């Protein structure tokens, strides 16, 4: 699939996110498609980049019988997401800043996994500095989202600043 075409799809129907739960951070990249009985475009993207396609049943619109189905492709593994983001990043017009932050976040997580663990019994436990670095990218991501879509940071998000 052409990278410029895919970037256009992502700018219109895609979403990235960095999420925080306590001291744990993760990301997800999604692309939606609706109005077709089969998710042809998402299947093509899935075949090239991986991820998981599911029928969207979480919205009020999806429960109305006269509505056509909608589908979502989710990529939450770093190797899948980084490949698609690196391919489309140069061509993004709207979501380029948030895509760059997710790329940086994934790269940071890969680098941090290479570091010696602080405790052999808990090899995945992060150092305070690692958590703070991830939190910094998380806040930067939220600021980009806020500038694009309006709104304010919640108190829970602001505590990382």
Q: Is the pLDDT of residue 117 over 50?
A: yes
DSSP track, 140-157: HHHHHHHHHH-----HHH
Q: Is the pLDDT of residue 32 over 70?
A: yes
Tokens of 40: 């042809």
Q: How confident is the model at residue 154 (pLDDT cuts 50, 70, 90)?
A: very low
> In this structure, are residues 14 and 30 in contact, taking their beta carbons and an 8 Å threshold?
yes
Q: Where are the domains positioned within the chain? A: 3-158
- Does pTM surpass 0.95? no
Residue closest to 27 by CA, chosen among 134, 117, 154: 134
Residue closest to 95 by CA, chosen among 13, 5, 1, 150: 13
* Tens-digit pLDDT profile for residues 39-52: 899 999 999 999 99
DSSP track, 30-88: EEEEESSSS-HHHHHHHHHH--EEEE--SSTGGGSTTSPPEEEEEE-SHHHHHHHHHHH
* Tens-digit pLDDT profile for residues 63-72: 566 567 889 9
Q: How many CA atoms lie within 13 A of 12 on its CB side?
A: 8
Tokens of 137: 């990218």
Coil, helix or strand at residue 29: strand
Q: For the domain made up of 3-158, give the CATH fold.
A: Endonuclease I-creI (3.10.28)
């Amino acid at each position: 699939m052409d990278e410029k075409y895919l970037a256009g799809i992502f700018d219109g129907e895609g979403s990235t996110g960095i999420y925080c739960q306590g001291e744990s951070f993760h990301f997800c990249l999604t692309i939606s498609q609706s109005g077709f009985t089969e998710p042809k475009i998402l299947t093509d993207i899935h075949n090239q980049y991986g991820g998981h396609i599911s029928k969207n049943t979480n919205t009020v619109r999806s429960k109305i019988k006269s509505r056509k189905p909608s589908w979502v492709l989710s990529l939450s593994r770093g190797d899948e997401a980084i490949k698609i983001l690196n391919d489309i990043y140069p061509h993004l017009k709207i979501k380029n800043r948030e895509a760059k932050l997710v790329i940086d976040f994934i790269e940071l997580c890969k680098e941090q996994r290479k570091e010696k663990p602080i405790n052999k019994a808990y090899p995945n436990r992060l150092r305070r500095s690692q958590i703070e670095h991830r939190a910094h990218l998380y806040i930067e991501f939220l600021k980009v989202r806020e500038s694009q879509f309006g709104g304010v940071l919640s108190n829970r998000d602001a505590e990382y600043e």
